[in-house]
Structure 1
């Protein structure tokens, strides 16, 4: 690490100096004291390189820092250009939020967001030693205690004898002047920052809002900033209920699901006969919180990650593959709704944290622009979970662009066509619409919704909302196949222990060397399927947990390949145990024949169809690029 200090460095004039405006005449110019390059790494894996500047002559005598990111020198406006200037964030120190990750404020997520955005645009983050809006760390914690009695953040400061906001940005103006940033684009929701900088002679060409990092713990805090000091905040989840119970851990969630498995097995035949999930199953899934798994914490969801989501589907499939498939997609569609802009989130989360929606893009419908929105026409297949849904997410095309429409199921014609060999309990029926009007707010660009930086990711701080859409869409079929295969091998083992095979000398099938070898082979295939599945999930979770979220072609190929090979091994394990279990398993009441049919249908889903996956994965691993854009 090299530090260039005043005693050894070129004079501070190496950085452009701006004249001190008349408005800031009370504060003498500051000058750069030292510059040092510091590589940064955040807990989510995001990295950036900062040039950290310290100063002499700051008005309050505190050790404030200026962190320069990206092409900041190019962003400085030349006198004759009239440029908007560098992107600048004035970030007041918050030990609890920045260091310890406190959710009582939004400081930590704002700091993380600011570093990424400024790194891309070129500019400065000023880290100002003004803890607790200027009242200090101990007083801030005292204010927290008062807030727990019902006061808001401003009322608590006043009750302690402080001002509502004691921060002063004179030193910030001096620092910006010292590096020649006389005009800036201010990254902030706080109008007071812009007003103070303007009064101190710094031009604010634009005030750029930060994301809204909402959680159950900071909802009142953000609402007070919005209502009391006119922060530019939109809180779409205000109408939704705050979660009144503790958010379950990963282990707690799996324990809840494991407790459901025996009852899912008891109801599997009924599920298949109904061609949808029984109401008792839906009630138990809701009570366990399965549909809340991926919902944002701010609306009462659990905000869980990819690993928890995939593992829940796998374990549900040990009870009933149709239940796992339906619950997995309904949970995933809650996550899809949380990616929409605020206006839609206000609507769909108004009645709770888990609005149920079906989603289908096959085949794509058509949309025509009309006053106030779009008129859509189409017939959409495979709307899994539609029998339990209030909403439907439908893919349409307009002028060559793919859009997604959010439509009440009651406005659509439901076609009862789900008569299939397997996964009969998913109720994946068809939907039809003819010139149906969809208001503008319920239509969005698919590319925007499916991207890592979607509208919802700027509203909620849950990391899973940065996961690109395709990553979770590919999770359900492999997890369901693996869980179903695990159940099949369990049934085969139990059957071997008691079954007497005709025309043999053994008292039970387990005593046959050939049966022993068959079980060992099935067990080994299951172990292979499990390892491949775990690797596929790991690649997705690790790559999409990074910010900025950027998955490489090789990572995408490795994940899709591992999940597809897991499905192949799961299906082969099922084939082995069913072919060695005798003719009686083909009675419709026997679970093994149901598992065999369910897994056969799963293998024909695009997320497990092996030939195109092998081709595209090979291209990705060889660096040749994909010929199927959606891969």
Structure 2
């Protein structure tokens, strides 16, 4: 579905008008007949030729609708050429269409025939998805493997059509909770969800199972297979062979947000990402977005990367943090010499590796390489990694060692107030041998002119490492604040505040002011974040890529101020949301704890940022090496 921002009018608020109305007698292959008033429209937001069929005593139901009376029965039916016209049994669309016309005609209401073939991906792509389903993927996994969203449908035009007829209250004939949720968010009151029948065939059993288990459709299936017998997302290919565009990849990420929210509590309880989440991220191709094209990656840039982190944080901050670092570490691995790259990229374009330098271990030169000893903390993503990138000191020189996870001891110590789902545990090694080709001086690895830059022409590999390392925490904080604002808005629309006269919090002028303040803080955070991304991205056009002290000060200050504004928005929201949001089942309390932990990360700790940024802006020179700021 399309995610709307607060600054864009909702489709329901953009009026559509009836363009034409014509009477059409209907007859189905089984002999059932009905008469429909078929209407077309001007002004539909998506520009498509959707139809509305008025069935039965639809005019009377509009006259009768009201708080005390029944609302018209409505079906949002997405076009399905194969099912509606050819009678395909791979889906249940044809039988649902026939059933809906009969049910609606009996009581009066509307069937909206929406031009959204294949859940919005189009006819040809739907048939391509069928071919992938024949290899074992379910209907949603196949869409993702094609580089599309699981469900790209947006019901804004449907809300406009209903609005044009004055149908502000409806009984919705559907098994799909997303239709209910979207209509409600667009201003249409759904007084009842009326389930359709279960139209089961030998050919559509897996299709219906996927609907029930993946997107919570209200379907009761006889003799269901056990979950272990169903193919899972772990069996997916890595999002197909085509390289997605920036918008296409972000659409895949946006499609994951609802399920990340559903699993946020589980993620926190597990103290790692659920396997389903990791599988879906791999299927979407997220982990390979910064990997160079030569190893099968997408070779994307900073803007795509940080927007991905921000979007994931709107679903689950722990997921955004973990994935942001794992994606970044793939990019770090592509900076190594050829021999190391041959080893880590042998299994595919997205080797997962944790990286930590807190505190650095000790390295001793031995024949053929180094012997390292140390205990490293904050290894974000370690629970999903095959490799670890570990900082060590050797003779006063900082180095990074690339080590298989199987060679390290994992210490389960990540018990924290926030970011619990990142599983950022400790690693330990004692006198561990690391061959010379898997040890590299940090200064060489971090430079624009690094070994990988001699191998790969991808622009991102030619960027100093420090420019990426400060971006994850501010992006995650901003996405979290945007999610919090969304939750606050929904809460205000229904919450009754004690010791007030208003029926809902949104009607209170003081609450309106609080929401406006929070909205303003999120807008401030977004503007600072955009400025930082712009400054960093602009430096990539130079050869060699480099910052002046003033530019480095400006972008680090903007990131810090963005994090501060995000945290202030969350604080305002929590203070005005009542005691119930502090239950562990409520997303707002989790967002608050996650953001509080983010603020303690070095990239958002304001005291050193203000100190060094002031020196840079005043041209006094940094008191620490510039690449460490």
TM-score by length of 2: 0.62
C-alpha displacement at 1:544, in angstroms?
2.7
Matches of 1:626 and 1:396, distance apart in 2: 25
Matches of 1:365 and 1:626, distance apart in 2: 27
Aligned match of 1:370: 366
Within-5 A mapping of 1:102-121 = none
1:557 counterpart (553, 556, 561)? 553
The answer (yes or no) to whether the contact 1:463–1:545 under 8 Å persists in 2 is no
Within-5 A mapping of 1:35-46 = none
Deviations 1:335-392 (A, max 9, x none): 0000000000000000100000000001011000000000001110000000000000
C-alpha displacement at 1:267, in angstroms?
0.2
Deviations 1:412-468 (A, max 9, x none): 111100000000000000001111110000000100000001010110011011111
Whether 1:604 aligns to 2:586 is no
The answer (yes or no) to whether the contact 1:243–1:299 under 8 Å persists in 2 is no
Whether 1:529 aligns to 2:549 is no
Whether 1:412 aligns to 2:411 is no
Deviations 1:229-285 (A, max 9, x none): xxxxxxxxxxxx999622111110110000000000000000000000000000011
1:430 counterpart (423, 426, 433)? 426
Aligned match of 1:576: 572
Deviating above 2 A after TM superposition, structure 1's stretches of 4 or more consecutive aligned residues are 241-244
The answer (yes or no) to whether the contact 2:292–2:458 under 8 Å persists in 1 is yes
CA RMSD between the two structures? 1.2
Aligned match of 1:468: 464
Matches of 2:302 and 2:238, distance apart in 1: 23
Whether 1:499 aligns to 2:495 is yes
Matches of 2:549 and 2:342, distance apart in 1: 36
Matches of 1:503 and 1:559, distance apart in 2: 46
C-alpha displacement at 1:545, in angstroms?
3.4
Aligned match of 1:328: 324
The answer (yes or no) to whether the contact 2:239–2:283 under 8 Å persists in 1 is no
Unmatched 5+ residue regions in structure 1?
1-240
Q: Against the structure 1 CA distance between its residues 421 and 296, is the aligned structure 2 distance closer, same or farther, given a 3 Å change threshold? A: same
* Partner SS, residue 501 of structure 1: coil
TM-score by length of 1: 0.61
Aligned residues: 391
Matches of 1:286 and 1:482, distance apart in 2: 24
1:289 counterpart (285, 289, 292)? 285
Whether 1:379 aligns to 2:375 is yes
Whether 1:351 aligns to 2:351 is no
Greater Rg, structure 1 or structure 2?
A: 1
* Partner SS, residue 608 of structure 1: coil
Within-5 A mapping of 1:107-506 = 245-506=241-502
* Partner SS, residue 247 of structure 2: helix
Matches of 2:420 and 2:463, distance apart in 1: 30
Matches of 2:439 and 2:283, distance apart in 1: 31
Matches of 1:625 and 1:394, distance apart in 2: 30
Matches of 1:372 and 1:311, distance apart in 2: 42
The answer (yes or no) to whether the contact 1:403–1:445 under 8 Å persists in 2 is yes
C-alpha displacement at 1:551, in angstroms?
1.5
Aligned match of 2:540: 544
C-alpha displacement at 1:555, in angstroms?
1.1
Deviations 1:528-580 (A, max 9, x none): 00000000011111113322212111111111100110000000000000000
The answer (yes or no) to whether the contact 1:243–1:301 under 8 Å persists in 2 is no
